[in-house]
Amino acid sequence: MLNLNDITVRLGGRTIIDGASAMLPPRGRIGLIGRNGAGKTTLIKVITGALEADGGSIDMPRGSRLGYIAQEAPGGEATPFETVLAADTERAALMIEAEASHDPHRLAEVHERLIAIEAHSAPARAARILVGLGFDEEAQHRSLESFSGGWRMRVALASLLFSAPDLLLLDEPSNHLDLEAVLWLEDFLKSYPATILLVSHERDFLNNVVDHILHLSGGKLTLYPGGYDAFERQRAERQAQIASARAKQQVERERLQDYVARNSARASTAKQAQSRAKALARMQPIAEMIDDPSLSFDFPGPDELRPPLITLDQAAVGYGDVPVLSRLNLRIDPEDRIALLGRNGNGKTTLARLLAGQLAPMAGKITASAKMRVGYFTQYQVEELDRSETPLQHMTQLMKGATPAAVRGQLGRFGFSGPKATTEVGRLSGGERARLALALITREAPHLLILDEPTNHLDVDAREALIQALNDYSGAVVIVSHDRHMLEMTADRLVLVDQGQAKDFDGSIEDYIAFVLAKDPVSASGGGNGKAGINKKEQRRAAAEARERDKGLRNRAKQVEAELERLTASLSKVDLAMFDPATASAELAKLTMTDLMKRRAEVQQAIAAAELAWVEASEALEGAAV
C-alpha cells in the first residue's frame, strides 16, 4: 500500500503538484499518466526521496524496498550478467561472506539465508531476464563499455527487475526497447508479485499491464480502475458531466444577471435584486477540462510525383566493409505507409538511413526520384537542438530567404504560435522539442517522411494527434516504432528486417505479435518450455480450454469493475452537487451539505471495498493462469 497525502511541489516559483492525494491498492499495477510537463517524473522523484516535497507526506509499509532506475546508464568493465547479479545486494553480500567467514555458526546462518532467497537460481533468473530484453549469450558477457547508452539502460532495467523490490517504479520503461522486448516486459510485469507504479504513454502497454490509472492533471491526482481504455471512457463521462454543469450554470448566471439588471432600480424589487446579485457573486465558475490547445501536428502536403519514389534492386548497406543488410528489393510509392519491424540491432535504422540518402549502397542499386524531398526524424535531432535558441530562431536559420510569415506559418502548424515561438528550447518539454524537430524536418513539404521512434517524448494525446496528422498527410511514410497502436493506426504495409534482409511481412501487427511470441521461448517467469515451435492448433485449443475454465473468475472481475465504474460516476455526481447545487439530480438536490459530505464518504468507502474485491478477483484469475 502506498498513500500520497496532500503532496505539494513547487519548482522555480511554479506549483507543479498542488495538494495531490491518492491511495494506491496493495499489489496493484498502476499506470501514472498525464500530459507532458504535468509533473509525473517530479512525483516519482518525490516518492523515491530524490526530491523533497514542499508539503504533504508519503506512507509506505515499514521495511518496504523501493526500486527505481537511475538516470545514468551503468558503465565500466563489468558485464551485463555481472551487473544484474550484483543488483541483489543481499545475495551479493552473503556470497562474499560465505567465502570469507570462518565461523561455522555464522556460515550455517549464511547458507540457510542463501537457500531461503533461492540464491542458487539467481544466475538462471538473471540470464532469462537479459534474454527477454534482447541480450543473447554472447552479449551478456561483453563489457558494458561496448554497448550504446540505450542498451546499457536495458541493463539497468534488467537489474531493477532482478532485484524484485516491493514497490517497482518505472518511468517510460519501453523507451529503449524494441517491440519484441516490450512484449516480454508486458508479460513479466503482468505476473509481478508486488506493487508497480509506471509512467507510460503507450496505450496498448497500459491496457495490457495495469489495473488502475492514476491521472495527474492540474496538479491533482485521480485514481481510475481499469486500463487506459477504461480511463478514457470514465474521463469522457466526467467531461460530459462537467460540460453539462457549465452549460446549466451559464443559463442560471444569465438569468440572474438579467433579473438584477431589470430590477435593481425599482424600489419594489431592489431587495430581491440585491439578493440575486449576492447569489451571482457566490456562484463559483466550474473549471472546464481543457486539453492543451496548442497541441498540433499538421504536415504540409507535397506536390505530386510519379511513382515509384524509391526502388532498391539487390542493394546492400552497412558500415565500413561490413554489410548489415543484403539483397534488398524494395519499392516505395507515394502514399505508401510502411512500418519497419524487427529487433533493435537487426538493421531498421540502417535501412532508414539508406532510404534517407545518409548511406550509400555497398552493392546493388538504389533509384530515387530526382525531385523527391525526404524528411528524416530521429531522436538525435531532438537531443541536438540548441537549448539557448527559440523555435523561431531554429526555423529562420533553416528557411533561408523565406518571409517571416512563412516561417511563423510552419511553426504554427506544430503548435508554436505566439509566445511559444519565442520560448527558449531549454524551457520546452520533451514532447514540445519533438514537435519542433518534426516542424524543422518537414519545412520543405517532403514527399517521404521517415520517422525513427517519433513517439518517445510524446504523451498519449500527442501520439493521437500525430496519428491523425500522419493519416491526413498526402506523402509516403516509413516508420520505426515500438508503439503498436501507432503502427496499427498508420501502417498498411509491414516490412520485417531480420537476418540481414528486409522482406514484406504478410499479415497485421497482431499477426506479427503472434509470430514473435510463437518463436520466443522465454516466458515472463523466465522459465520457458523450450518448445518454440508448438503447433498453433494445439495453442488455440489450450487457450480455449483456459478461457472456459476461467470464465467464472473473469465474470467476477468484470462485475466488480462495472461496480467500480458505477461508484466512480456516483462520486462525480456527488462532487458536482456539492460544487454547484443547481446541477444536482433531484435526489441529491434534497440533501444538505452535511448529508452530501456523508454520502461522499459512504461512496468513497464503497469504492475502497470494491477496489479490494477487484484486486482479489484479479489475483485469483492470475493464480488460475499459472
Decide the pairing of beta strands 212-217 and 29-33: parallel
Evaluate the omega torsion of the peptide bond into residue 307 and state whether it is cis, within 30 degrees of 0. Answer: no
Decide whether 1-65+165-226 matches 310-519 in CATH topology. yes
Grid coordinates representing 435 are 514537435
Phi, psi of 338 (to 5 degrees): -115, 130
User: How high is the pLDDT of residue 518?
Assistant: 76
Give the mean model confidence (pLDDT) for residues 465-484.
Answer: 92
User: How high is the pLDDT of residue 495?
Assistant: 96
205 pLDDT band, cuts 50/70/90, is: very high
Least confident residue range of 202-211, 370-379, 397-406, 518-527: 518-527
Q: Give dist(CA 568, CA 158) in Å, integer.
A: 37
170 pLDDT band, cuts 50/70/90, is: very high
User: How high is the pLDDT of residue 568?
Assistant: 76
User: How high is the pLDDT of residue 289?
Assistant: 45
- Which CATH code is given to the segment(s) 1-65+165-226? 3.40.50.300
User: How high is the pLDDT of residue 273?
Assistant: 67
User: How high is the pLDDT of residue 527?
Assistant: 39
pTM for the model: 0.70
Could you give the angle at the alpha carbon of 569 between the alpha carbons of 566 and 575, nearest 5°? 145
Q: Give dist(CA 38, CA 40) in Å, integer.
A: 6
Look at residue 540 and tell me whether its pLDDT is greater than 60: no
Look at residue 352 and tell me whether its pLDDT is greater than 70: yes
Give the mean model confidence (pLDDT) for residues 393-409.
Answer: 94
User: How high is the pLDDT of residue 283?
Assistant: 60
Phi, psi of 170 (to 5 degrees): -130, 125
For the chain, which residues make up each domain, given as ranges? 1-65+165-226, 74-163, 232-282, 310-519, 549-625
Least confident residue range of 9-23, 181-195, 370-384, 522-536: 522-536
Burial profile 439-475: b = 16 or more Cβ within 10 angstroms, e = fewer = bbbbbebbbbbbbbbbbbbbbbbbbbbbbebbeebeb
Class of domain 310-519: alpha beta
Closest CA to 558 of 205, 210, 206, 230: 230
**Residues linked to residue 476 through DSSP beta bridges, in sequence order:** 448
User: How high is the pLDDT of residue 561?
Assistant: 72
473 or 278: which leads in pLDDT: 473
> pLDDT tens digit string along 239-254?
777 677 777 777 777 8
The residue ranges of DSSP E strands in 39-118, in sequence order, are 55-59, 66-68
Look at residue 328 and tell me whether its pLDDT is greater than 60: yes
User: How high is the pLDDT of residue 114?
Assistant: 83
3-state DSSP assignment of residue 214: strand
Least confident residue range of 64-73, 148-157, 340-349: 64-73
Q: Which range, 266-275, 295-304, 515-524, is most confident? A: 295-304
Element (H, E) at 161: helix 149-163
Q: Which residues contact 469 (CB under 8 A, 6 or more apart)?
A: 297, 298, 299
